[in-house]
Amino acid sequence: MRPQPASSPYAATSVSGAGELLQLLRDERPRTRAELAKLTGLARSTVGARVDALLASGLLAPSGEAASTGGRPPVRFAFNPEARVVIGADIGATHGRVALTDLSGRPLSEIAESLDITDGPEVVLDWVVATTRRLLDQAGREPRELIGIGIGVPGPVEHSSGRPMRPPIMPGWDGYDVPGHVRRHLDVPVLVDNDVNIMALGEHAMAHPEIEHLLFVKVATGIGAGIISGGRLHRGAVGAAGDLGHVAAPHAADVLCSCGNLGCLEAVASGPAISKALAEIHVTAESNADIVDLVRSGNIPAALAVRQAGRTIGEVLATCVSLLNPSVIVIGGTLSEAGESLIAGVREIVYGRSLPLATGALQIVPATTGTQAGVIGAATMVIQHALTADRVDRAIARSVAQSAS
């Protein structure tokens, strides 16, 4: 980096710290320079220099005027989520959804198509790249305005490298360098995680941003959980935290699971397990959508089977509540669309089983982001990565160096 000319308004000392100021402003509330000085305890001149640096980067924008106390009214500034764009991609077993979002994770546009994850990483990731280009084109945004791409996949991922790890339903993806492939076409940070973790991030960011301890449970063909602890996603040592589906369920000792073990939660309370239970009493439900349709149309055996699955999930969640003490449990995934049956079963057991101290303020609620949870969460993962104080400082320093050269 070249030395800054003395006249630069963004001399190195004032630029560093701009990123930290931005963290305060991420709530999108407009504030004046004086309000920011009071809030941070920094000198007015320091705040002024940091505000200028953020204004030049576009991350901050003027946002109306404060009431005047005599003289010219002071200008307010707010975080400008439109300054850059983000791509969130949600890859399922048979579908893909890619959204272009702003820096708040709000989808601006999206494209969803059928795909087959067993076609392998090259085919599927080339589709993500092509869809990203289409979305940028349609929105009139340049690739250089893209701060990163977040991708969720339906299997375990080593988050630090973005490589799937022995994913059972993703043949050809084991150990594949997902970020490397995407970055050969679009040179931006590429972050990868499993679908449940990104759904947890999406639901947390959109519906419960103020909640520090939240457990997101996906109930569909598989069962999994995303753990938000201290406001951050808890991934565990190798990214396997939250793998609820293969926890032993009480009273299920002899049921064989697809993983080869006996008595897993997924073997007795997932969509396929419910279908199997219904088949035994001659009720046909071939898919998760069939189960949801049956319950919604008032089919009593289907509603009872879903409620029983909720109770079984609740038994495992009661243990999680004792361990993690969340204040919100969100129930998502296709089967959560069956209405109250599933969540009623979960509540019955969790509230009945856990100690009052842990459940006194515990809410158990349905997911609200629906099919968009994945893309919003994938974009949120990128935003949390790119907008940390030090990365914002470095990006500003880089653009100052470029404009000075």
The Cα–Cα gap between 62 and 110 comes to 29
How do 163-164 and 223-229 pair as beta strands? unpaired
- Residues 253, 254, 260, 261, Cα dihedral to 10°: 10
The minimum distance between CB 224 and Zn ion, in angstroms, equals 11
Closest CB to Zn ion among residues 257, 291: 257
Task: Count the neighbouring beta carbons within 10 Å of the beta carbon of residue 323.
Answer: 10
How many residues in the shown chain lie near Zn ion by CB under 5 A? 5
Q: Using the rule CB under 5 A, give the single segment among 61-69, 192-200, 263-271, 291-299 that binds Zn ion.
A: 263-271
Q: Which is nearer to Zn ion, 96 or 222 (CB)?
A: 222
CB 261 to Zn ion: min, Å: 5
Residue 264 in the binding site for Zn ion (CB under 5 A): yes
The span from the CA of 387 to the CA of 101, in Å, is 15
Report, in Å, the least distance between residue 252 CB and Zn ion.
10
- Rounded least distance, CB 221 to Zn ion, Å: 13
Structure tokens at 125: 């990731």
Site string (235-254) toward Zn ion, x via CB under 5 A = -----------x--------
- Report phi then psi at 220, rounded to 5: -150, -135
Alpha helix (H) ranges present in 281-386?
288-296, 300-324, 340-353, 356-359, 373-386
- Compute the least distance from the CB of residue 337 to Zn ion, in Å: 24
Is there a contact between 266 and 273 (Cβ–Cβ < 8 Å)?
yes
Of 257 and 395, nearer to Zn ion (C-beta) is 257
Provide, rounded to whole angstroms, the least separation between the CB of residue 216 and Zn ion: 20
Interface residue with Zn ion, options 257, 329, 383, 387 (CB under 5 A): 257
Q: Any contact of residue 268 with Zn ion (CB under 5 A)? A: no
Nearer to Zn ion, 34 or 262 (CB): 262
Here the tokens at position 131 are 């869809």
Residue 259 binding Zn ion, by CB under 5 A:
yes
Q: Return d(Cα 290, Cα 295) in angstroms, integer.
A: 9
Query: Based on CB atoms, which residue is closest to Zn ion, 101 or 312?
Result: 312
d(CA 286, CA 175) in angstroms, rounded, equals 32
Q: Applying CB under 5 A, which residues contact Zn ion?
A: 246, 257, 259, 261, 264
